Amino acid sequence: MRRWVWIVSVAVGCASAPKEEAVSAPTESSTSGEPSSGEPEKESKLGSLPKEAIRSVVRANMRDVQGCYDAELQLSPGLAGKVVVKFQISKDGLVESAEVTESSLDNRAVERCIVKDVRGWEFPEPENDGIVIVNYPFNFKAP
C-alpha cells in the first residue's frame, strides 16, 4: 500500500524572530504487512491549506502558547529552547491530533500545555476535502 503525505513546516518565534518556512515534497511511505496496532492502515486523502492560513491561526493563538511558556519560566528562569509540534488538520478544519516531535526545551509541562492548546485550534477547511499535516516549531528565549 502506498500513501503520499504532504508535510508542511512553518516556523514562528516566541520572543525571537520567525524563521523561514519550507514545504517538503511529497514523501512516499510504503508498508509491508500490518501496522504495529494490528489494524490495516487507513488511506487518508490529502488536502492543502495556504501557509498564510496556517500562520494566521497560529498567530491568533500565540498568546496561549506564550502563556504555556511564561508559566514555567517563572519556575525555571533561563528556560529556553524549541518545541516542534506535529498536528493533523481534518477535512473539517479541526485539529485531529497533535504531538511534540522534537524539543530542546526539555520541559514536559510546557510541551503538554502547547499540545493541549493546539488540539483546540480551528483552521479553514482544507482544499481537496482532505487532511493536512503540519510540523510547527515554537522557539522560546528567556528575557
What pLDDT, on the 0 to 100 scale, is given for residue 45? 85
- The C-alpha angle 53, 132, 59, rounded to 5 degrees, equals 30
36-91: pLDDT as tens digits:
223 333 557 899 999 999 999 999 999 999 999 999 999 999 999 999 999 999 99
Q: Where are the domains of the chain?
A: 2-23+45-140
Backbone region of residue 38 per phi and psi (left: phi > 0; alpha: psi in -120 to 50; beta: other values): left
Q: State pTM to two decimals.
A: 0.72
Query: Can you tell me which residue has the cell 500562520?
Result: 55
